[in-house]
Amino acid sequence: MLKKILTRITDRNLWPRNWWYPGPKKDNRHADVVKMLHESHSKAINKTMLSLLGVGLYSLLAVVGSPDKSLIATNSSIQTPLVGTSISFQGFLIVSPFLLVILTVYLHILYGKWLRLETKREDLNKEPANAGEPTIESVPAIFSFSDRLPRFVTTFIFYWFVPLILCVMASKAFALKELIRPMFYVASVVTLALLFLRINRCPERKRFWRNAPRWILLALLVAFMGYFPSVSDSFRRPLNLQREDLHEAWLQGLDLTGADMSNANLKGANLSGAILQKAHLDEANLLDADLRTAKLQAASLNKANLQKAKLTFADFEEADLTLATFTGATLQNTNFQSADIRYANFRDFVKEGEFDSHRLKYAQNWEKAFYSSELLAALKLPKSHNDDLNKDWDKTYAEVEHYQSENSFQNLLKAGYRVVEHHVKKNFQMVKRWLNIDDKGTVPVVDVGDEYGGGIVAYLFQPGDKGYNKNKQHGLIAAKSDIQINYTDAWGYGDQKDSFRWSTGETGKEGNADYAWQELLNTSTRLGEGAANTDKILAKYPSEKYPYTAAAVARAYRGGGFDDWYLPSKRELNKLFYVKSAVGGFSDGGYWSSTESGAVGAWNQYFYIGSQGGSSKDHAWRVRAVRAF
């Protein structure tokens, strides 16, 4: 049986070997027939090749020249090549590859037949050439010339032109999650087929050394096609919709994660249910836009115009809403957890149904926003709050102008964080120049898992993270091990060593200073906020009186001689989970974060499966301290 299989595999006239290494075939056709067919096939190949070049170049120009707006706007259209029918741009991304594939298949069917006729023509020409008689001449065409340049151009057009066009189209389509896999596999299958044809048609004398790298490339491509589904999301690129006019556009339910929509006109646009996580909507016009149930976590809406916007059940968790305007907006069940609402305008929002003003207190800098008289009363802010804030705002701008003219980094630091932040946004290059001149310290280049700064590097800040600086490495350092202290719990847990309560064990006397379920408010989930969260916890439960809370033992940790350790925020703790093997020493149990989930609970994370959830503050979990560098 094995002998038969080996015999079949090595026989060039039998399947499967004749697929990639076909043997010679007999052709008994008359010389006149060969001449006629050779001429007709040559002309057909020329026409098909020109059609393929036309469709390919048209598709390339259409894709490269079309803005990303065409991918989502329902009113964008483009004419199909050859047919001339107007279709949507998304439809064009489907029709155009289909036309290219059809033309490619037809071209290679003709070219395969032409190659066999060319072999027969050369055989028929041997005797007449030796006898000095007329031979069958080849029709002049780029693919029939034997010089180096024509052969190179022929190879490119026949085997690499279409894969190149499909790759460009795929990169355009990769902005839409639903098109990533289809476009990748269309481009990959076409490339595989053409690569296999190249192997099949390789001349006998050059077969080994030319085909060896092609087989390797083919195997790598097949392997990557199998691996691609697990990493397809990482190939997605953000949409570039900066300054685009999308007024009254129908964008309901679209996944626009990370899209750059700064300064875009989205007046009256339907974005209900849209996914806008980490999107850039700075200074975007969202007047009268429908953002009901939209997901805008960690989005940037600095100076965004949200007047009369419908924001029912919209989620702005960790979003930057600095200077955003909410005049006339509906805010029923809108989530502002950890959002930065500094100088945002809530003066004349629309109260539609139930609106819990208490939700605003979960936002960052909620006490620095402008409110209506109703909200001022609900939030227990003085009536003069808006006037005082206006004066503070005017003072901020005065300080900015003064310190900009002074051109002094030291004076700028004295102005306080709010001036520095504004100045960085307004004139980043000047501040960067100051930093390069005045800051002589250097930070060595480290990687996750390296021992550094009293612990193990667990995360390096990326663009968009608080504390990121492209000129200097910053990130998080995790302690080398969980905190372990022998102590006796004061509320009934007895002797303990590696588990600590978030607050206290007192759950029966509400109003007592020891009460475990006191809501702190404003503990953030963000990266870079764990230290501030820890300070807030210790302000409520001082370490002098409560030395064995999670926050207290994290702050008391002195790994490497450093005294700036803290209890990580929810997202910082999640970063530790993803590198737990590189950092080492973690158990499969739960770990506390410094982010509370409400009056009763705080966020913790199980390091066996990575799930995060709320746990009662009087429960005891493990603690892994972190510090920033």
Task: Give 302-344 pLDDT, tens digit per residue.
Answer: 889 999 999 989 999 888 898 899 888 888 888 888 888 888 8
Q: How confident is the model at residue 417 (pLDDT cuts 50, 70, 90)?
A: very low
Q: Are 352 and 334 spatial neighbours (Cβ–Cβ below 8 Å)?
A: no
Joined together, the tokens standing for residue 549 give: 């809370």
Q: Is residue 407 part of a domain?
A: yes
- Give the residue carrying structure tokens 């974005």: 271
Q: 372 to each of 17, 164, 183, 382, 392, how far by Cα in Å? A: 80, 58, 51, 12, 18
- Give the residue carrying structure tokens 């932040």: 421
> Within 10 A of 584 (CB to CB), how many other CB atoms are there?
12
Nearest to 448 by CA among 491, 478, 416, 404: 478
End-to-end alpha carbon distance in the chain: 67
The answer to whether residues 217 and 246 belong to one domain is no
- Ranges 40-49, 394-403, 479-488: which has the least confidence: 394-403
The answer to whether residues 524 and 597 belong to one domain is yes
Average pLDDT over residues 192-201: 87
Q: pLDDT at position 14, please?
A: 58
Secondary structure of 428-469 as H, E, C letters: HHHHHHHHHHHCCCCCCCCCCCCEECCEEEEEECCCCCCCCE
The answer to whether residues 215 and 93 belong to one domain is yes
Contacts of 620 by beta carbon, 8 Å cutoff, 6+ apart = 489, 493, 496, 499, 500, 501
**Residue of 355 and 502 predicted with greater confidence:** 502
At 594, phi and psi to the nearest 5?
-95, 10
Q: Is residue 470 part of a domain?
A: no
Assess whether pLDDT exceeds 60 at residue 32. Answer: yes
Average pLDDT over residues 553-566: 88
**Residue of 29 and 148 predicted with greater confidence:** 148
**Residue of 134 and 502 predicted with greater confidence:** 502
Q: Is residue 602 part of a domain?
A: yes
- Determine the structural domain holding residue 413 and report its residue range: 388-438
Q: Is residue 219 part of a domain?
A: yes
| Domain limit, last residue, from 381, 408, 429 | 381
Amino acid identity at 539: A
Half-sphere exposure of residue 435, counting CA atoms within 13 Å on the CB side?
14
Q: Give the C-alpha separation, 445 to 126, whole Å.
A: 69
Average pLDDT over residues 246-250: 89
Joined together, the tokens standing for residue 168 give: 């460009």
Average pLDDT over residues 179-188: 92
Assess whether pLDDT exceeds 70 at residue 175. Answer: yes
Q: Give the C-alpha separation, 399 to 420, whole Å.
A: 10
Q: Give the C-alpha separation, 290 to 306, whole Å.
A: 10
Q: Give the C-alpha separation, 371 to 385, whole Å.
A: 8
Helices (H), 66-206: 69-72, 89-131, 148-155, 161-173, 177-200
Q: pLDDT at position 471, please?
A: 76
Q: How confident is the model at residue 15 (pLDDT cuts 50, 70, 90)?
A: low
The answer to whether residues 225 and 251 belong to one domain is no
Q: Are 555 and 617 spatial neighbours (Cβ–Cβ below 8 Å)?
A: no
The answer to whether residues 513 and 592 belong to one domain is yes
- Give the residue carrying structure tokens 């007192």: 506
- Give the residue carrying structure tokens 């690499």: 160
**Dihedral angle at the C-alpha atoms of 323, 329, 334, 340, nearest 10 degrees?**
0
The answer to whether residues 261 and 226 belong to one domain is no
Q: Is residue 268 part of a domain?
A: yes
Amino acid identity at 623: V
Q: Give the C-alpha separation, 271 to 248, whole Å.
A: 10
- Give the residue carrying structure tokens 């029912």: 312
- Give the residue carrying structure tokens 């006796």: 488
Q: 52 to each of 48, 97, 158, how far by Cα in Å? A: 6, 11, 9
Q: Give the C-alpha separation, 601 to 590, whole Å.
A: 14
Q: Is residue 121 part of a domain?
A: yes
The answer to whether residues 13 and 89 belong to one domain is yes
- Give the residue carrying structure tokens 């609106």: 355
The answer to whether residues 589 and 619 belong to one domain is yes
Q: What is the CA radius of gyration of the chain?
A: 34
- Ranges 6-10, 343-347, 444-448, 449-453: which has the least confidence: 6-10
Assess whether pLDDT exceeds 80 at residue 12. Answer: no
Assess whether pLDDT exceeds 70 at residue 414. Answer: no
Q: pLDDT at position 407, please?
A: 45
Q: Is residue 426 part of a domain?
A: yes
Q: How confident is the model at residue 83 (pLDDT cuts 50, 70, 90)?
A: low
- Ranges 27-41, 98-112, 406-420: which has the least confidence: 406-420
Helix (H, G, I), strand (E, B) or coil at 616: strand
Q: Is residue 463 part of a domain?
A: no
Q: pLDDT at position 435, please?
A: 39
Please classify residue 447 by burial: count the beta carbons closer than 10 Å to its beta carbon, then call 0-12 exposed, 13-18 middle and 19+ buried: exposed
Q: Give the C-alpha separation, 156 to 171, whole Å.
A: 20
**Residue of 14 and 98 predicted with greater confidence:** 98
The answer to whether residues 616 and 492 belong to one domain is yes
Assess whether pLDDT exceeds 70 at residue 567. Answer: yes
Q: Give the C-alpha separation, 4 to 7, whole Å.
A: 5
Number of domains in the chain: 4
Q: How confident is the model at residue 540 (pLDDT cuts 50, 70, 90)?
A: confident
Q: Give the C-alpha separation, 480 to 256, whole Å.
A: 39
Assess whether pLDDT exceeds 50 at residue 301. Answer: yes
Q: Which helix (H) or strand (E) holds 404?
A: helix 385-406
- Ranges 63-72, 104-113, 329-338, 342-351: which has the least confidence: 342-351
Q: Which helix (H) or strand (E) holds 597?
A: none
Average pLDDT over residues 257-279: 91
Secondary structure of 323-369 as H, E, C letters: CCECCCCECCCCECCCCECCCCEECCCECCCCCCHHHHHHCECHHHC
Q: pLDDT at position 406, please?
A: 46
What is the residue-wise DSSP string for 238-274? --B-TT-B-TT-B-TT-B-TT-B-TT-B-TT-B-TT-
Q: Are 66 and 54 spatial neighbours (Cβ–Cβ below 8 Å)?
A: no
Joined together, the tokens standing for residue 356 give: 């819990």
The answer to whether residues 286 and 432 belong to one domain is no
Nearest to 540 by CA among 574, 562, 515: 515
The pairs formed by 253-257 with CB atoms below 8 angstroms and a separation of 24 or more are 254/72, 255/176, 255/177, 256/72
Pick the most confident of 216-225, 382-391, 415-424. 216-225
To the nearest whole percent, how much of the chain has pLDDT over 70?
A: 81
Q: Are 621 and 590 spatial neighbours (Cβ–Cβ below 8 Å)?
A: yes
The answer to whether residues 36 and 149 belong to one domain is yes
Assess whether pLDDT exceeds 50 at residue 186. Answer: yes
Q: How confident is the model at residue 354 (pLDDT cuts 50, 70, 90)?
A: low
Pairing mode of beta strands 370-371, 345-346: parallel
| Domain limit, last residue, from 182, 208, 234 | 234
| Domain limit, last residue, from 337, 361, 381 | 381
Assess whether pLDDT exceeds 70 at residue 139. Answer: no
Assess whether pLDDT exceeds 50 at residue 418. Answer: no
Pick the most confident of 5-19, 28-42, 438-452, 521-535. 521-535
**Omega of the bond prior to 238 within 30 degrees of 0, cis?**
no
The answer to whether residues 581 and 433 belong to one domain is no
**Residue of 267 and 496 predicted with greater confidence:** 267
| Residue 252, domain CATH | 2.160.20.80
Q: pLDDT at position 420, please?
A: 44
Instruction: Write b or e for each residue in 53-74: b if 16 or more Cβ atoms lie within 10 A of its Cβ, otherwise e.
Output: eebbebbbebbeebebbbbbbe
